[in-house]
Amino acid sequence: MSSAMAANPRVVLDTNVIISAIGYGGKPGKILLLALEEKIQGVTSEVLLAEVREILIKKLSLSFSDLEPVFFGFRAYYFGNRG
């Protein structure tokens, strides 16, 4: 984690924020973008990501294999596999 990232506020990216960001954009989309740009520190968990995955599979009729690349990216970003 960069020193600039440590100084930024932490924001929980819960299921509602992530689903809204993906589906509708708006303020949740801006929050997710700020986290990806490291202007805020987005905080999530494997449990929340599993819930998001389940909702997307049910609501959008996507398969686990359709979503796995996206969630691999989330896990890599939020759980320490980024440079």
pLDDT tens readout for residues 6-63: 578 998 999 999 889 888 889 999 998 898 888 998 888 888 888 988 888 888 777 7
Q: Is the pTM of this model over 0.85?
A: no
Q: What is the reported pLDDT for 36?
A: 83
pLDDT digits (tens, 9 = 90+) for 71-80: 766 666 666 5
How distant, in Å, are the alpha carbons of 7, 20, 30 from that of 65? 36, 21, 27
